[in-house]
């Protein structure tokens, strides 16, 4: 089938409107003023216009805006020079090089097309036009023209132009509602006013930025990723990309964000409850596998703090999606008494290379070469566990256990509550100084050093928290003498390694209610396909 090209209607420099296709055959030439080869071709196109103009519509589409007039004046052009400064027609015609020449028949079908300046091609075009139109051939001094000269890249392929054109195309992946902002409005302030923000400035999600973000995943823009509580909002890949732009992400972070959202939107994680609880729970994201280095995540110095774009913006994007798509907004469904900084973001990579233990995702049944995201619902942390003096493994392990007594409240024990322990490399070195010290051994040591009699959990004048006095009286002294550890079982203690080689400071995140009444940690393999 003979190729056709999209129709258009453009004004010339003289103000006349020219429409394609029109009556009869056409010669359509795309140029830009600062292209040397276009300047070589312009007098030739003018000669063709003068020779064949009565039977052939010759249209020159200039991409250079106001500079189109300079091109016309420089070469004394009498042919219509049309204004394609937006480059929309250049985009629709899918050209790559200027000058780009199209000889079209009366039905708008391409008879001939070439780019740049190859003298033989232009000579052949002139001869073919003369023969087809049954007129004398244009008189052109071909010998004075170069045999060959390469063209220039079409202006519509400039990144800042091309992305805008892609975003506005009829088949664009961008389907979300667009919001028009008055020219005098400040975009950043507008987004604050509309409630899109987490309290910090946002990157405006322009269509071109969203398109670039969508390039970070192979999933179609309108694929449904998750239904996001509490408002059961529909989170498509496009909507995730919009929030990722606002958070300041790079496109390569998209697979991690998608996996994290899938994880928190499970019944097991219960993002509705995590968002709504007055205790102030928030997702903590741990990333494992090769993607950590591929996207430049921080697993070492300052891994739990600021300074790394991937760590900061991945966690922030997840929070924005929960708020903007799911409706989990402070003062609405989110009813945290105090809130906590993790409600902005908390995401880091495990320092697998510095760990003597199987990494978190391998413990959870994944392959070491898999990239995996794990989410925990945490109410506090990171809380430092400081031990700079211990030199023996059992001492450091004991200090870590004592550091975890603060989960919920030191008085409360036998808790079915998760804790996420982040062990620093220097503490790892001490733990391993006398041989292998496994995670299970560390968990057992934590449980051992935190064992206390139930009598210490009884409400009293110092603290009304714990076992009610009336209940304690029924239990009797014998049962109150039973010792219990901090956690209801070692499975509630999750262990990862992160941080730099200098500093004997491990940290812990304190969990929310664990299990069916609260939240269970969830791991999700990151789809890099």
pLDDT tens sequence across 306-315:
999 999 999 9
Q: Which of 142, 157, 172 is the last residue of a domain?
A: 157
Say if 370 falls within a structural domain: yes
119 and 228 share one domain: no
149 and 205 share one domain: no
Given a cut of 70, whether residue 165 has pLDDT beyond it is yes
Given a cut of 90, whether residue 184 has pLDDT beyond it is no
Residues 507-527: what's their mean pLDDT?
A: 95
User: Quick one: what percent of the chain has pLDDT higher than 70?
Assistant: 98
Torsion of CA 98, 104, 108, 113, to 10 degrees: -40
User: Quick one: what percent of the chain has pLDDT higher than 90?
Assistant: 88
Question: Domain residues for 136?
Answer: 8-157
Provide the number of structural domains found in the chain.
2
Q: Residue 19 is part of a domain; what is its CATH number?
A: 3.40.30.10
**Could you write out the DSSP letters of every residue in 217-237?**
-SS-TT-EEEEETTTTEEEEH
Residue that is written with structure tokens 């040397």 in the block: 36
Identify the CA nearest to 225 among candidates 195, 188, 172, 262.
262
Given a cut of 60, whether residue 25 has pLDDT beyond it is yes
Say if 177 falls within a structural domain: no
Tokens found for residue 342: 């993790």
The per-residue pLDDT for 296 is 98
Say if 308 falls within a structural domain: yes
Residues 91-112: what's their mean pLDDT?
A: 93
Say if 92 falls within a structural domain: yes
3-state secondary structure of 276: helix
pLDDT tens sequence across 238-277:
999 999 999 999 999 999 999 999 999 999 999 999 999 9
139 and 203 share one domain: no
Say if 176 falls within a structural domain: no
CB under 8 Å to 188, separation ≥6 — which residues?
201, 202, 204
Say if 455 falls within a structural domain: no
221 and 87 share one domain: no
319 and 427 share one domain: yes
The per-residue pLDDT for 170 is 58
The per-residue pLDDT for 108 is 86
354 and 260 share one domain: yes
Q: Which of 140, 157, 174 is the last residue of a domain?
A: 157
Note whether 197 and 232 are within 8 A (CB): no
118 and 241 share one domain: no
Average pLDDT, the chain: 94
- List 118's β-bridge partners, or say none: 148
The enclosing H or E element of 476 equals helix 469-480
213 and 115 share one domain: no
What is the spatial distance between Cα 361 and Cα 366, in angstroms, rounded to a whole number?
6
Given a cut of 80, whether residue 456 has pLDDT beyond it is yes
What is the spatial distance between Cα 476 and Cα 473, in angstroms, rounded to a whole number?
5
pLDDT tens sequence across 349-386:
999 999 999 999 999 999 999 999 999 999 999 999 99
114 and 217 share one domain: no
120 and 205 share one domain: no
- Please state the separation of Cα 299 from the chain's center in Å: 20
Say if 128 falls within a structural domain: yes
344 and 197 share one domain: yes
Given a cut of 70, whether residue 300 has pLDDT beyond it is yes
The per-residue pLDDT for 164 is 78
């Amino acid at each position: 089938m003979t190729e056709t090209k999209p129709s258009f209607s453009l004004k010339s420099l003289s103000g006349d409107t020219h429409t394609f296709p029109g009556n009869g055959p056409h010669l359509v030439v795309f140029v830009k003023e600062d292209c040397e080869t276009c300047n070589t071709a312009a007098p030739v196109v003018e000669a063709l216009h003068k020779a064949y103009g009565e039977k052939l519509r010759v249209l020159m589409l200039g991409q250079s805006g106001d500079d189109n007039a300079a091109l016309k004046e420089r070469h004394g052009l009498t042919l219509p020079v049309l204004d394609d400064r937006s480059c929309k027609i250049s985009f629709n015609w899918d050209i790559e090089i200027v000058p780009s020449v199209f000889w079209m028949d009366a039905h708008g079908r391409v008879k001939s097309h070439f780019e740049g300046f190859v003298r033989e091609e232009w000579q052949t075009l002139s001869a073919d036009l003369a023969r087809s139109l049954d007129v004398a051939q244009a008189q052109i001094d071909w010998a004075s023209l170069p045999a060959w000269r390469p063209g220039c890249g079409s202006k519509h392929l400039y990144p800042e132009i091309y992305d805008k054109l892609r975003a506005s195309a009829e088949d664009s992946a961008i389907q979300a509602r667009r919001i028009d902002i008055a020219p005098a409005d400040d975009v950043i302030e507008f987004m604050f006013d509309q409630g899109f923000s987490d309290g910090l400035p946002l990157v405006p999600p322009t269509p071109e930025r969203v398109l670039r973000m969508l390039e970070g995943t192979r999933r179609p823009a309108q694929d449904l990723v998750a239904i996001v509580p509490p408002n059961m909002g529909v989170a498509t890949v496009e909507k995730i990309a919009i929030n990722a732009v606002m958070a300041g992400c790079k496109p390569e972070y998209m697979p991690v964000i998608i996996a994290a959202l899938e994880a928190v939107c499970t019944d097991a994680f219960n993002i509705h409850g995590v968002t709504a609880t007055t205790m102030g729970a928030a997702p903590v994201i741990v990333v494992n596998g090769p993607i950590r280095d591929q996207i430049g995540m921080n697993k070492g110095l300052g891994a739990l703090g600021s300074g790394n774009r991937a760590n900061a913006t991945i966690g922030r994007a997840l929070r924005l999606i929960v708020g903007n798509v799911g409706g989990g907004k402070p003062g609405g469904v989110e009813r945290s008494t105090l809130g906590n900084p993790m409600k902005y973001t908390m995401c880091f990579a495990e320092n697998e290379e510095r760990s003597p233990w199987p990494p978190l995702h391998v413990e959870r049944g994944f392959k070491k070469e898999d990239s995996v995201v794990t989410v925990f619902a945490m109410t506090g942390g990171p809380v430092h566990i400081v031990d700079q003096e211990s030199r023996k493994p059992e001492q450091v392990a004991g200090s870590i256990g004592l550091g975890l007594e603060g989960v919920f409240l030191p008085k409360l024990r036998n808790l079915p509550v998760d804790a996420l322990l982040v062990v620093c490399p220097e503490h790892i070195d001490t733990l391993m100084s006398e041989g292998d010290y496994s995670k299970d051994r560390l968990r057992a040591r934590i449980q051992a050093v935190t064992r206390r009699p139930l009598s210490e959990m009884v409400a009293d004048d110092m603290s009304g928290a714990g076992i009610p006095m009336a209940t304690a009286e029924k239990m009797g002294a014998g049962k109150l003498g039973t010792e219990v550890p901090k956690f209801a079982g070692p499975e509630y203690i999750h262990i990862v390694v992160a941080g730099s080689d200098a500093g004997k400071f491990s940290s812990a995140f304190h969990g929310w209610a664990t299990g069916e009444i609260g939240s269970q940690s969830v791991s999700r393999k990151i789809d890099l396909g």
